[in-house]
Amino acid sequence: MSSFSFTVQARDGAARAGRLVTPHGEIETPAFMPVGTAAAVKAVTARDLVEVGAQIILANTYHLMLRPGAEVVAGLGGLHGFTSWKGPFLTDSGGYQVFSLAGLRKLDEEGVRFKSHLDGSPHMLSPERSMEVQQLLGADVIMAFDECPPYPAPREAVDEATARTTRWAVRSRSAKTRDDQWLFGIVQGGVHLDLRERSARELVALDFPGYAVGGLSVGEPKEDMMRVLSHLQPLLPESKPRYLMGVGTPEDLIEGVHRGIDMFDCVMPTRNARNGQVFTSQGRLSIRNARFRDDPRPLDPACSCPTCRTASRAYLRHLHLAGEMTAATLLTLHNLFHYLDTLKEVGQSIRLGRFQDLRERRLAGPRAEVPEP
Amino acid sequence: MSSFSFTVQARDGAARAGRLVTPHGEIETPAFMPVGTAAAVKAVTARDLVEVGAQIILANTYHLMLRPGAEVVAGLGGLHGFTSWKGPFLTDSGGYQVFSLAGLRKLDEEGVRFKSHLDGSPHMLSPERSMEVQQLLGADVIMAFDECPPYPAPREAVDEATARTTRWAVRSRSAKTRDDQWLFGIVQGGVHLDLRERSARELVALDFPGYAVGGLSVGEPKEDMMRVLSHLQPLLPESKPRYLMGVGTPEDLIEGVHRGIDMFDCVMPTRNARNGQVFTSQGRLSIRNARFRDDPRPLDPACSCPTCRTASRAYLRHLHLAGEMTAATLLTLHNLFHYLDTLKEVGQSIRLGRFQDLRERRLAGPRAEVPEP
């Protein structure tokens, strides 16, 4: 356990800048974790990820248990032996994907039986099986098995799922045997502040080394998400890392940091890149737009990523419209750099006591399509 | 014109090692040119190409005139301004793709009218228009507009196409006005040695700075291709570069060098990579093969490419089967490195007078699926 630590090094209001140390490397927080669903971040290589400044990658337990199988990954040395990424990994519990992707689910107190979305084969996830799979995968940070209710859902259903999440957290903790992994608990409770508070208090009593906030960004209004985060902020231990799962836009990340969050993951920068949607310091743009046909400028003249250093909007538009995979690679590199660089800048602003200035500037800035030149 | 030169620096039999100097850089010969159809080599970035040792890229005139349009490329500074590849480019004449891809072709002495395979829009290519387009694209080496007959074809049709190719070569030469591009003539004649000889003599009389051999690898038996190359070898000027278009396997490249060829292009390393087909020093393998599921070894233990330094067969198989674009990237990098490295080794062997040793060793070696471990 001594190879793990989390230190808050600076505060500005509720915002924190710190350092998470894991057996496979250190992560400066606030941190963004690119999503590597199938043990690879789509369209880029591990070398690319190092170059754009990634420090930790998220991999999906659900996908990897189905293909190639957790036992196959374990036989090749876990995620660190199997993949080309040698830095820290985090795996999710599998719960979220079971509820959003798998077919023919059957949920009871034991766990969830489901059919693979790939081939219909039957599988089961429970706290014990999720821990077994995540221990076979060998990520540095692993997640307790939780039930993530849909939005909207009746309050009673959310109440039930939240209570079960606590019971499953107890079982997850008991089932974990490896001491070179940190297990985080997941707070549920939907948009109900009292359920969120109960969930947080129950999980904090279990003394996990870190806490995630799950069940947000599932369709609820953004104000509700922010209300939940504000409410949870004083309830979660100051000295432990806090991870907001599956969120969001660069502005959402800044608002999360403002409410005490240290870690984020989201498919938005990578998925949007493959669809030609680009994040820039001047707002978002769609590379398909006809006005970029002859535009010799980089995606973002203020950006120093490998794509902005070497490719024009005109060239990227051409590659995207021609269906060239290279377009996905170059736009993914840019979007990831934009996310990672945004949180780097956020961290620096916290250390300098200027986070609120940055927050106000970024949130007042353009977010939509880049205006005409 | 002074920024161009070609020097044969060493010979071993008919095999030659030399240097081609262009306005955008030098190329060691024998050289392999990765194919960048749409002004990008599929699945890799320009930085990747530098890393695997590419020195010149081929781009397709037909594809680029249709999308984004030669005038668009010219407005952005030609291929060197438009793309991220700053080294030498070669463009083909467009003739081959017109005959293999376009719809509703109408050929006469003036040129070819055709409909775009993308949107059915009408276009025309002729020696004059091909030169205009290739000058707008601005590659270092450009090709005369030729007629490439199919295989098999009646001898009279091949005779006719070969004679027309000479007349079009004269018109191509007259239409070329930029003096910072080298224009190569293309020898046609199918598998008929007398037609090949006539074509070569007529084109050599036109005094092009380099010569390509076209119309091979279009379905004819490999022995016929080798017979044509052996016949042409003494007919083409010793002091000028010779380019075998659209060929082939690594063994074909070695056999081409043995018959005096200096330059090659082929989609095989890149296209095969996207299909999971890999070239190694021990033969070819399909990464889909079930026996690689748990194989921790690199694709080729003798290879030092970026992929073999960082990824196992098991991981690459998983990425390929999961449909991850990264698989295409990593396998393309490997296959290109294998091709480029093979010709580097060939060049060194020529300089050391050991080309025949290398040729015999490589041609005696395994070519098919890697044997079971």
pLDDT, tens digit, 9 for 90 and up, residues B99-145:
888 777 899 999 999 999 999 999 999 999 999 999 999 999 999 99
pLDDT of residue B2: 59
Residue type, A81: G
Catalytic residue, chosen from B159, B252, B265, B300, is B265
Contact B30, B99 (CB under 8 A): no
pLDDT of residue B222: 97
Beta-strand runs (E) in chain B: 5-12, 15-22, 25-29, 31-33, 35-36, 57-59, 89-91, 103-107, 112-115, 122-125, 141-143, 182-187, 210-213, 242-244, 263-265, 277-280, 283-286
Q: Which residues of A touch B84 (CB under 8 A)?
A: 310-311, 315
The first and second tokens of residue A318, run together, are 């051409």
Query: Mean pLDDT, to the nearest integer, of B211-215?
Result: 97
Q: Which residues of A touch B119 (CB under 8 A)?
A: none
Is the model's pLDDT at B71 over the cut of 60? yes
pLDDT digits (tens, 9 = 90+) for A362-372: 988 766 555 44
Q: How far is CA A165 from the centre of its chain?
A: 20
Strand, coil or helix: what is B234? Answer: coil
- Mean residue pLDDT of chain A comes to 96
The first and second tokens of residue B314, run together, are 């098991």
Q: Which residues of A touch B306 (CB under 8 A)?
A: 45, 47
Does B46 sit within 8 Å of A294, measured CB to CB? no
Strand, coil or helix: what is B206? Answer: coil
pLDDT of residue A104: 77
| 3-state helix/strand/coil string of chain A | CCCCEEEEEEEECCEEEEEEEECCEEEEECEEECECCCCCCCCCCHHHHHHHCCCCEEECHHHHHHCCCHHHHHHCCHHHHHCCCCCCEEECCCHHHHHHCCEEEEECCCCEEEECCCCCCEEEECHHHHHHHHHHHCCCEEECCCCCCCCCCCHHHHHHHHHHHHHHHHHHHHHCCCCCCEEEEEECCCCCHHHHHHHHHHHHHCCCCEEEECCCCCCCCHHHHHHHHHHHHHHCCCCCCEEECCCCCHHHHHHHHHCCCCEEECCHHHHHHHCCEEEECCEEEECCCHHHCCCCCCCCCCCCCHHHHHCCHHHHHHHHHCCCHHHHHHHHHHHHHHHHHHHHHHHHHHHCCCHHHHHHHHHHCCCCECCCC
pLDDT digits (tens, 9 = 90+) for B259-278: 999 999 999 999 999 999 99
pLDDT digits (tens, 9 = 90+) for B72-107: 999 999 999 999 999 999 999 999 998 888 777 899
Does B67 sit within 8 Å of A325, measured CB to CB? no
The torsion of the CA quartet A340, A341, A343, A345, rounded to 10 degrees, works out to 170
pLDDT of residue A369: 52
Q: At what angle do helices A250-258 and A325-351 cross, to 10 degrees?
A: 20
A365 or B70, higher pLDDT: B70
Distance of residue B89 Cα from the nearest chain A Cα, in angstroms:
16
User: Based on the number of CB atoms within 10 Å of its own CB, is B170 exposed (0-12), middle (13-18) or buried (19 or more)?
Assistant: middle
Distance of residue B303 Cα from the nearest chain A Cα, in angstroms:
17
Nearest to B315 among A82, A310, A321 (CB): A82
Is the model's pLDDT at B373 over the cut of 50? no
The count of residues in chain B is: 373
Catalytic residue, chosen from B48, B92, B140, B252, is B92
Return the DSSP state at B291.
Answer: G
Residue type, A85: W
pLDDT of residue B104: 77
Q: At what angle do helices B250-258 and B355-364 cross, to 10 degrees?
A: 150
pLDDT of residue A2: 59
Distance of residue A310 Cα from the nearest chain B Cα, in angstroms:
5
Residue B302, CA distances (Å) to B8, B338, B343 in order: 30, 10, 16
Residues of chain A with pLDDT under 70: 1-2, 366-373
**Residues facing residue A219 across a β-bridge:** none
Is the model's pLDDT at B1 over the cut of 60? no
The count of residues in chain A is: 373
Is the model's pLDDT at B16 over the cut of 60? yes
Catalytic residue, chosen from A140, A146, A159, A265, is A265
Query: What percent of chain B lies above the pLDDT cut of 70?
Result: 97
pLDDT digits (tens, 9 = 90+) for A113-165: 999 999 999 999 999 999 999 999 999 999 999 999 999 999 999 999 999 99
Q: How far is CA B217 from the centre of its chain?
A: 11
pLDDT of residue B372: 43
